[in-house]
Chain A
Amino acid sequence: MVISPVQYIAIPLMAAFLIPLFGKLNKDLARIIPGLVLLYLSYISVVLMNQIISSNTIIVEIIAGWRPPWGINLVFSPLTGFLASMFSMLGFVIWMYTYNFKPEVDNAQKQKFYVLFMMLITGATGIVLTGDIFNLFVFLEITAISAYSLTAFYRERDGAEAAFKYLLIGSFSSTLILLAILLLYTQVGTLNMAEIALKMPGVDPFMKGVILILFFVGFGIESELFPLNGWSPDVYTQAPGPIGAIFAGMVVKAGIYGLVRVVFTLFDVKEILPLLVIIGMITMAVAEVIALRQGKLKRMLAYSSIGQMGLVAVAFGIGTHDSVFAAIFLMFNHAIIKGMLFLSGTYLVYNSTEKTLDDVDGIGKHLPFTSFLFALGALAIVGMPPFAGFWSKLYLLMAAADVRLMTVIAIILVVSVIEIVYYFRVIHRIYFRERISTIELKIPSFNAKLAMFILAIIIVAVGVYPDLISGFIERATTDLLDKQSYIQSVLSVGLK
């Protein structure tokens, strides 16, 4: 079988249907299969990325034998391919971390966890890869349903409340997106994103406005933009630790991808970009100030995550080539760094019920490896050289300076100082306080340590040598901003 992008979706789906059967044969198989699937997807990511970069084309795959606009198609371009590859590889690392995560959980529950875990990643990948707006909605639903269930996974926490809140807000978001797709279909008569983009100039401006606002609010909820992010702090706090890493690394990334795809490709309206900058700045400022006041580790990470998404929104909103480059770089950095913070932070407060900052006092002596990685992640996310976070922030500031947005630069810098304060406070607690808490510590298993270590290596490697990744991001930026070639490559596929 030839390697093609549809395997990103089809293989995990097949595996998800098979897991309940394999679980009956052998209890461990249900845990191993997702890892094998994600490993294979990482492998095809390498092959496909090589293919599109060496031939300098976009892979458009038609499904069910109907070429666009009649059938559904998947688009593996430098941007979507980059994100899909990132999701698969990060997913594999997180799978490695979860393998022995909570041994006391019942096998029946573990099996369900791994099905939902794998589908959460598949849903996010599908959102990114699809070239059809309704298909995007279907994948959004797959992501959302797995996310709601995983939030409520632990019965002993208040996960149900957080999940219910998420369910209400998330369904609201899905409804708005569905209404937008409905209105869009009445206007352009097609669901294929390339053809929508082609027909968009002929649409009545009033309709265009209504549809764009519906999409904006819908995807804004998914990508944690202010004031639509009420669900996220609770969800991050209550969900299992590795799932927090997936939310930060993939789910909200897929949300912002949807927003950006709609704004840049489908509508191509530059008028809404300043709004994105303003909302991004408010998101960032509000979230970071609230993060400063948090007494619980995971809640603090959650608000920091919202703040970072605000930064990404600002970067996309500036809209120049350099700022979009910075935005995609920020997405990548935030995925790996916040992923590592969630993974290591989870072990710092593993057995604590309240998970407050007091629990990490003096933990550096007891869990030296995990504490060191958490500190490294904290330094990286605030943008200290020589870590990955430094470059993306620098590129963003330079891009903002190019278009003379001094207010934006000032706010980013002030917010960075706030970020430094609350992250350094945690580092101070870890290393320079005495441990008074009597909660038993959990030593990470070898595979969890390895997973965190891999992410740390990537953070340092990209920090020291950003050219490792900047070539891919440069292509992704060009791909996102070049609407015409996207339309042309999708609509010309399968023509004889």
Chain B
Amino acid sequence: MIKQFFVILILSIVGYFLVDAFFKVPFGEKRDNVGNYYIEKSPVDLKVSNSVTAIVVNYRGFDTLGEVTVLFLAATGLGSIMYRRKQKGEKEVRAKNPSSRIIQIGSQILFPMIILLGGYVFIHGHLSPGGGFQGGAIIATASLLMLISYRKFKVSHNAITWIESIAGVVFASLGFIGLVLGRTFLENFLPTGELNDLLSGGIIGIIYIAVGFKVASELTGVIDTVLLNNRPEAQKEN
């Protein structure tokens, strides 16, 4: 009781100061910060109409390379924690019960559309809202849908490994090419093209496509690992 009281007391003191600090930040006023520079310059310098993409992939592309690595490590780490030796003659089952006919047919219709949407989102990352991370997540939901509606649906781990490795290598190699051709790592060495064209922004589009593939394959791998390992009773049924 007394312990809980102190916990609440400390939390409210910390909360008070945090809220106070954040309320002191003026809202909606124009401030002097590097963000203004990005908004003004990204359509001119990079010919990219989505300034967020310009920041994420070019101005602060190094952070994105780091974030991609974080996701890669999370997937690797999860795989290592959930690792289980395969027994002989063991059947791998993800979903406990087969889904109804309606869900199965519905997901068959939805599956290609979701993939298409995901691809659209990351290919147009520099033109419209969205990008590699969002597109990749959308594609991963398509595999989730298939995994929960079909008991026999399998994701090839071999393919996932290849896709995620190659996508990562493409991202890092573009960085190295920038270092060799330009002067700095991840420098935009391709012509930037015309504003609002699909082929514009130089390496930005290519990087976002690589990120899209990487995120899609990693999240699919994560979903598959969790579904497979979450169910120890699945073994008994077989």
**In the complex the two chains form, is B59's CB within 8 Å of A146's CB?**
no
Let me know if B205 is at the binding interface, CB within 8 A.
no
User: Known: A153-B80, A210-B17. Contact between A16 and B183, CB under 8 A?
Assistant: no
Let me know if B63 is at the binding interface, CB within 8 A.
yes
Q: Say what secondary structure dominates the interface of chain B.
A: helix
User: Known: A1-B179, A16-B72. Contact between A66 and B59, CB under 8 A?
Assistant: yes
* Neighbour of B63 across the interface among A138, A149, A179, A185, CB < 8 A: A138
**In the complex the two chains form, is A65's CB within 8 Å of B21's CB?**
no
Contact with A along B61-79 (1 / 0, CB 8 A): 1110111011011101111
**In the complex the two chains form, is A64's CB within 8 Å of B172's CB?**
no
Q: Enumerate chain B residues within 8 angstroms of A146, measured Cβ to Cβ.
A: 73, 77
Contact with A along B159-199 (1 / 0, CB 8 A): 00110111011001101101110111111100000000000
Closest residue to B160 on the A side, CB-wise? A20
User: Known: A63-B184, A119-B73, A185-B33. Contact between A149 and B81, CB under 8 A?
Assistant: yes
Let me know if B60 is at the binding interface, CB within 8 A.
yes
User: Known: A17-B169, A189-B33. Contact between A142 and B70, CB under 8 A?
Assistant: yes
Q: How far is the CA of A496 from the CA of B60 in the complex (A)?
A: 22
**In the complex the two chains form, is A112's CB within 8 Å of B63's CB?**
no
Q: Enumerate chain A residues within 8 angstroms of B80, measured Cβ to Cβ.
A: 109, 112-113, 116, 149, 152-153
**In the complex the two chains form, is A70's CB within 8 Å of B34's CB?**
yes
Shortest distance between the CB of B16 and any CB in chain A (Å): 11
Let me know if A141 is at the binding interface, CB within 8 A.
yes
**In the complex the two chains form, is B24's CB within 8 Å of A204's CB?**
yes
**Which among A20, A134, A135, A160 has the greatest number of chain B C-beta atoms within 10 A?**
A20
Contact with A along B28-43 (1 / 0, CB 8 A): 0001111101100000
**In the complex the two chains form, is B24's CB within 8 Å of A116's CB?**
no
Contact with A along B10-34 (1 / 0, CB 8 A): 0000000110111011000001111
Q: How far is the CA of A340 from the CA of B76 in the complex (A)?
A: 28
User: Known: A10-B176, A70-B59. Contact between A64 and B184, CB under 8 A?
Assistant: yes
Let me know if B83 is at the binding interface, CB within 8 A.
yes
Let me know if B3 is at the binding interface, CB within 8 A.
no
Shortest distance between the CB of B206 and any CB in chain A (Å): 14
Q: How far is the CA of A32 from the CA of B69 in the complex (A)?
A: 21
Q: Enumerate chain B residues within 8 angstroms of A61, measured Cβ to Cβ.
A: 184-185
* Neighbour of A70 across the interface among B17, B37, B179, B180, CB < 8 A: B37
Shortest distance between the CB of B59 and any CB in chain A (Å): 5
* Neighbour of B21 across the interface among A10, A106, A183, CB < 8 A: A183
**In the complex the two chains form, is A63's CB within 8 Å of B185's CB?**
yes
Shortest distance between the CB of A369 and any CB in chain B (Å): 32
User: Known: A65-B182, A119-B73, A183-B25. Contact between A14 and B173, CB under 8 A?
Assistant: yes
**In the complex the two chains form, is B72's CB within 8 Å of A141's CB?**
no
Q: Enumerate chain B residues within 8 angstroms of A183, measured Cβ to Cβ.
A: 21-22, 25
Q: Which of B46-104 contact A (CB under 8 A)?
A: 58-63, 65-67, 69-70, 72-74, 76-81, 83, 85
Shortest distance between the CB of B213 and any CB in chain A (Å): 12
Closest residue to B58 on the A side, CB-wise? A64
Shortest distance between the CB of B30 and any CB in chain A (Å): 11
**In the complex the two chains form, is B63's CB within 8 Å of A135's CB?**
yes
Q: How far is the CA of A65 from the CA of B189 in the complex (A)?
A: 10
Let me know if A21 is at the binding interface, CB within 8 A.
yes
Q: Enumerate chain B residues within 8 angstroms of A150, measured Cβ to Cβ.
A: 77
Closest residue to B176 on the A side, CB-wise? A10
Q: How far is the CA of A24 from the CA of B162 in the complex (A)?
A: 10
Shortest distance between the CB of B8 and any CB in chain A (Å): 17
**In the complex the two chains form, is B22's CB within 8 Å of A71's CB?**
no
Q: Which of A158-202 contact B (CB under 8 A)?
A: 160, 163, 179, 183, 185-186, 188-191
- Between-chain CB contacts (< 8 Å), 19 pairs: A1-B179, A1-B180, A9-B62, A21-B162, A21-B166, A62-B184, A65-B178, A66-B59, A112-B83, A115-B73, A119-B69, A142-B66, A145-B74, A148-B77, A150-B77, A185-B33, A189-B32, A191-B34, A204-B24
Known: A119-B69, A188-B33. 13 other contacts (CB 8 A): A13-B69, A62-B184, A64-B178, A71-B59, A106-B85, A145-B73, A149-B76, A149-B81, A153-B80, A183-B25, A186-B31, A190-B33, A190-B34
Closest 8 CB pairs of A and B: A149-B77, A189-B33, A17-B168, A138-B66, A65-B187, A112-B80, A14-B172, A64-B186
Residues of B at the A interface (CB closer than 8 Å) are 17-18, 20-22, 24-25, 31-35, 37-38, 58-63, 65-67, 69-70, 72-74, 76-81, 83, 85, 161-162, 164-166, 168-169, 172-173, 175-176, 178-180, 182-188
